Homo-oligomer: A and B are copies of this chain.
Amino acid sequence: MSSIDWDLVDFVVECGAESTADVNDARALPPQCYTSHSFFEFEKRALFDHEWLCVGRADLIPNPGDYLTITINEDPLLVVHGLDGHIRVMTAVCQHRAHLLAEVPGHTDRLFRCPLHFWSYDTEGRVVNATGMKKARNFDKSDYCLPQLKVEVWEGFIFVNLSDSPTLLDKWFAPLAEKFSHWNLPILRSAKRIDYNVQANWKLIFENYSECYHCPGVHPALSKLSPYDSAENDLIEGPFLGGFMSITKGNSLTTSGKSCALSVGDFGDEDFHRVFYYSIFPNMLLSLHPDYSMVHQLRPLSPDRTLILCDWCFNPEAFEQEDFKPDDAIEFWDMTNKQDWHVCELSQQGIASRAYKPGPYSPRESIPAAWDRYYLRFIN
């Protein structure tokens, strides 16, 4: 829609640099980067077109022929578990008349067949049958493969990159190598996904996730089970930020306050009383509990609208057990999520006001301030 206003971009970068220059005296990002359509266009091109984006768990397409349909940065895409065993991400747009090859996730035994004129593609994106093109001159079906995007799997999650020459995923995630191995993320199974359409800028979701200073006011139930001031952060600069908070002994972060599932890994006694919260730039939040993992994917839709997909993942063996109560965790966090989205929406309204000037960060907000610093360095 909007074209990019480069003067605004420069203004945001400069003001932002000034606001965040002194780690101990930081203020929030300029309001325009939360509200401007033009700036949002810039973010899409400068940031989301170049970064590794989480698009879901690999266990959603466990078998060859399984596929997902997703829309990233307005582009409809297929995430395909190929018949050759490889995962690929390719456009969902037929190269003939632009019809979508699939509208919902599913499984194919052999081909994607466009319902419009029956052009068909194999699971590697090659044209198998270009119906009606036999007598076309100069037509070579190898010219019409479905354009593909870079894709990698990390810790059981599929990541896509819209750039032609992205940073290697392993290099990008090197700082996290082995860090999450206790939680067995690659083998967990999602019991539930809830999608939230939140009327707030995607950056507010990150900033809100990154501090528990708001917990006493916003999350009374959570605060009872996990002291708001118990955070100890071990990642404090860069694209990956976070650390752990305590869970009161004998409790779990569930509605009943009790553990709801077989542990996801083998922990020392200490980790049974801790929940780890990490933000993965630019679209993933990872919450690691002893008895489940919760994962948020963020899909920015407009400056003031973000689609958030939340998965609750459990030990696959837990599903077989009688005392498996996934709803105990899901209900608890669905409530807590909604509390967060509501305050993000009201902050979005306040940021849009002309009376708003970027406010100061408190020492308890060192992680959101670090997130802002990384974001600014990134877009600069």
Q: A residues near B, CB below 8 A?
A: 1, 24-25, 28, 31, 37, 73-76, 91-100, 103, 114-118, 130-133, 135-139, 144, 147, 213-214, 216-218, 343, 346-347, 349-357, 359-365
Contact = CB atoms under 8 A, between A and B. Distances in A.
Contact of A93 (B24, B130, B132, B356): B356
Contacts of A355: 75, 91, 93, 147
Given A132-B213, A144-B359, 7 more contacts: A74-B354, A75-B355, A100-B350, A114-B217, A115-B218, A130-B362, A139-B360
Nearest to A358: B98
Contacts of A346: 99-100, 103, 116
Copies of chain A in the complex: 3
B214 A136 contact: no
B135 A97 contact: no
Contacts of A361: 136
B343 A115 contact: yes
Contacts of A137: 24-25
Contacts of A354: 73-75
Contact of A138 (B25, B217, B352): B25
B347 A117 contact: no
A104 B185 CA distance: 44
B135 A363 contact: yes
A117 B25 CA distance: 18
A132 B1 CA distance: 41
A306 to B, nearest CB: 16
A360 B93 contact: no
Given A74-B352, A347-B99, A354-B74, A362 B93 contact: no
A356 B118 contact: no
A357 B59 CA distance: 32
A3 to B, nearest CB: 9
